[in-house]
Structure 1
Amino acid sequence: MKKVTSARIAQLLFLTLFLVLFLMTEYRGSDRIVAAVNGFFRANPLTAASTMLATRQYQPLLLPGLLVLLCALFLGRFFCGWICPLGTVLDLVTGRIRKVGALRALTGRAKYWLLLPLLTASLLGVNLAGLLDPIALLLRALTFFFHPLVGDTVRGGWRSLYGVVGDRRDLLDPGYRLIRDYLLPFRETLYPLAFLSALLFVLILFLERYERRAWCRRLCPLGTLLGLLSRLGPLRRTPAKLCADCRACREHCPTSFDQELLQTEECILCMECALNCPSRRVDFGWRARQPQTGAVLERRVFLGGLLGGVALARGFRFREPAAQAKLLRPPGVRDEDEFLKKCVRCGECMKVCLRSALYPAFFQAGAEGLYTPLLVPRLGYCEYNCTLCGQVCPTGAIPDLPREEKQRQVIGKAVFDKNHCLPFAKRIDCIVCEEHCPIPGKAIRSERVELTGFDGARRTVQQPYVVDELCNGCGICENVCPLEGKAAIEVFRVKDRTPLKSPSGGAPPPLHPYADPYQGGRS
């Protein structure tokens, strides 16, 4: 029977914690989310390094990531072997090594060609590390593809089961409520980029056919960052290479042996070699730093990585002007550049969005904005009393604001298309947008206007208009517009996203419940 190491126990515990927090990062009937999976990102050294380089300032939320980075200086890549949920998934699905070193010639120094451009681009203000961060890759695959797929399958299966059992289906209801309330996603949504997210995850698993922990050894930027630090630390394994009379370590080690030598920067501290050594020769301890005999970072790789980062920082900044007009960000985001520097592209805000308003961007914000959250009013709207997206954001890209302050945040401004809106284009009454506007005092109002209809008859029509001083761009008006396809009122991005004035600061007071909102026309 295979022995279970302390590292494997820790892996399983952290993976369980990750999945539990993932399920808790969901709307479950409460206005506050007490625990979320964002803790894994705040303890992520790559997130901490890239975000602070991009913003060029200390981010208190990411202090755990700096502490893990400091620990890596003494303990090496312990995060990869004890904590990382993606690494644990790879260990669980991987059998014995099939082709040792099969990817070494193919990938070469690819991990440095990924890490160095990412960090250099971050230093130049373009933070793309979240695209290849292992925790973000796993979380996006779960959020956008696997969890919705499970939810849709379970709900469909339960409906079929209800049809089979007929009148006795009430007996099954407690079981469904238990699954619905704790396991299934709150909303049934199809996400853009869901297939791409799943494909990247499956490709990482596919690499395991050729080499154990191939992603971790050859590509992962987080593991590469920790590995570079581990070369400077005092924790060393003895013996430093395979024993001539045994060589059993190569069979058990998932990452570290290339040819005869232990690669210190690739050791994930799994302790498999020490546990399975038949001669009990393997030991890990604190020793004076010795010259490394393994591969080092060549000058050409270092300089090439820096130039690659400059190319990324310049080449990924283009944004199509037409797409910018509808580039609506979550509430509280005022500066687009600052938001892009902080966003880790984890997808948590989209997962908890109460009204299905947030979706991952493709190229609406340019290549730099890939996977960042966009508000799409025609598909959903920002709930007036909801603050969930700010609660789960790990880096503060979406600020966690009190409800009253969040309600005053400006996402955009609503604008009528008079060639499309029924009261203007057809000269018939329609006040659906006004009826649904949640703003006290109504950001959308209407006035009675006497017009000549297309049949030549005089008639009175209620025509809506937007009070810009009250509109926060929540998108409910565009979402509920009864016209098919393109809405007659749309929310557009604005440069000035200064919060609206509070009622005490001069905004019109809320209407009396029984007052006539049309009395007096425009104010």
Structure 2
Amino acid sequence: MVVEAIPKGVGFIYALLAIVVLVWLWRSGRFTRRRALPFLVVSVLLGFLVFTPVFPYQLQLLVLQDAAGLGAPLPGVLIGTLAFIVLTLVVGRIICGQICPAGAVQEVMHLVPVKKYGSAESRVPVAVRAGIFVVFLAAGLGLGINLLGLIGLADFFNLAVMSVSFFVFLGIVLISAVVYRPFCRYVCPYGALLAPAASRALYRLRRTDACIKCRKCERACPTGAARPDDRLGECYLCGRCTEACPVDGALVYGRGR
């Protein structure tokens, strides 16, 4: 379904503009999950229309040094990849939260009103993803294997329904209705790079003295990243914690821990 007439740069520009608007919403206290929904919808549509900004797959092609597949010079893509990691170091994982189509389509699917399963523990998914990241690098750099291609990330957004791998990623998307973001939390190689940056982000969600320790934010967080001692590497800034918090000003997005 990818429309070749639409420049790939559209996705890059959208990502930058979306980050600016979403950071403004968070900083001004206006962010809500309802206001985030249009970003999720646009991100999913861009995934199907231009297959960008699908950050994990673009990293995959960068590892494979596939300039033709990227449609841009490798140095430029490398700079862009590093730039968004730096942005995450400043504003947190907004990219994963509402901008990357791979994450957005899972976030939308998780809105389906069915019983949810899976632990919100953050350490196990991180360990699994770290192991897969090593396999990802070994497959790409050592063997020239497109691991995310086998998983069907590109075939899904290209609606290549005759491909077996299309149904692999379709299965992941369907599972995300009951298990929160399985691809992002267990597989995504770009997420493995963004998580350490997010854990040191200049701007992040933090508790204030207004916190009454009711732990509603911890119960609402689908990644287990809302505990007081968590470094927020797995926080996608989805807004569930602030929505669940009963005290205005107890959770704020700003500088500091």
Give the TM-score taking structure 1 as reference length.
0.35
Distance of aligned partners of 1:274 and 1:107 in 2 relative to their CA distance in 1, 3 Å threshold:
closer
Q: How far apart are the structure 2 equivalents of 1:91 and 1:121? A: 28
Distance of aligned partners of 1:276 and 1:8 in 2 relative to their CA distance in 1, 3 Å threshold:
farther
Amino acid at match of 2:82: L
**Which ranges of structure 2 fall in alignment gaps of 5 or more residues?**
1-31, 68-72
Matched, 1:72 2:88: yes
Match of 1:196 among 165, 170, 184: 165
Task: Indicate the structure whose relative CO is greater, using CA pairs within 8 Å and at least 6 residues apart.
Answer: 2
Amino acid at match of 1:254: P
The answer to whether the 8 A contact 1:236-1:286 is kept is: yes
Partner of 1:16: 45
Q: Give 1:100 deviation, angstroms.
A: 5.0
Give the SS at the match of 1:284.
Answer: strand
What value does the CA root-mean-square deviation take over the aligned residues?
3.6
Give the SS at the match of 1:236.
Answer: strand
Matched, 1:239 2:207: yes
Give the SS at the match of 2:253.
Answer: strand
Give the SS at the match of 1:279.
Answer: coil
Distance of aligned partners of 1:107 and 1:276 in 2 relative to their CA distance in 1, 3 Å threshold:
closer
Which whole-Å deviations, capped at 9, do the CAs of 1:332-366 have from their partners, x for residues lacking one? xxxxxxxxxxxxxxxxxxxxxxxxxxxxxxxxxxx
Which whole-Å deviations, capped at 9, do the CAs of 1:473-520 have from their partners, x for residues lacking one? xxxxxxxxxxxxxxxxxxxxxxxxxxxxxxxxxxxxxxxxxxxxxxxx
Q: Give 1:267 deviation, angstroms.
A: 0.7
**Which ranges of structure 1 fall in alignment gaps of 5 or more residues?**
23-36, 147-190, 291-523
Amino acid at match of 2:53: F
Distance of aligned partners of 1:81 and 1:273 in 2 relative to their CA distance in 1, 3 Å threshold:
same
Q: How far apart are the structure 1 equivalents of 2:123 and 2:246? A: 31
The answer to whether the 8 A contact 1:255-1:267 is kept is: yes
Give the SS at the match of 1:109.
Answer: helix
The answer to whether the 8 A contact 1:80-1:268 is kept is: yes
Partner of 1:143: 158
Q: How far apart are the structure 2 equivalents of 1:108 and 1:238? A: 21
Which whole-Å deviations, capped at 9, do the CAs of 1:33-58 have from their partners, x for residues lacking one? xxxx15425xx26624x544554997
Give the SS at the match of 2:238.
Answer: coil
Q: Give 1:140 deviation, angstroms.
A: 0.8
The equivalences for 1:195-274 within 5 A come to 195-209=164-178, 211-239=179-207, 245-257=213-225, 261-274=229-242
Q: Give 1:61 deviation, angstroms.
A: 4.9
Give the SS at the match of 2:215.
Answer: coil
Q: Give 1:264 deviation, angstroms.
A: 1.2
Distance of aligned partners of 1:97 and 1:229 in 2 relative to their CA distance in 1, 3 Å threshold:
farther
Q: How far apart are the structure 1 equivalents of 2:224 and 2:122? A: 12
The answer to whether the 8 A contact 2:156-2:166 is kept is: yes
Q: Give 1:268 deviation, angstroms.
A: 0.9
Q: How far apart are the structure 2 equivalents of 1:104 and 1:246? A: 20
Partner of 1:164: none
Match of 2:255 among 261, 283, 286: 286
Q: Give 1:282 deviation, angstroms.
A: 0.4
Partner of 1:47: 58
More helix by share: 2
Distance of aligned partners of 1:223 and 1:11 in 2 relative to their CA distance in 1, 3 Å threshold:
same
Q: Give 1:195 deviation, angstroms.
A: 3.1
Identity among equivalent positions (%) equals: 22
Matched, 1:101 2:130: no
The answer to whether the 8 A contact 2:53-2:99 is kept is: no
Q: How far apart are the structure 1 equivalents of 2:90 and 2:57? A: 17
Which whole-Å deviations, capped at 9, do the CAs of 1:284-328 have from their partners, x for residues lacking one? 1122xx6xxxxxxxxxxxxxxxxxxxxxxxxxxxxxxxxxxxxxx
Distance of aligned partners of 1:120 and 1:239 in 2 relative to their CA distance in 1, 3 Å threshold:
farther
Partner of 1:463: none
Distance of aligned partners of 1:105 and 1:234 in 2 relative to their CA distance in 1, 3 Å threshold:
closer
Q: Give 1:201 deviation, angstroms.
A: 2.1
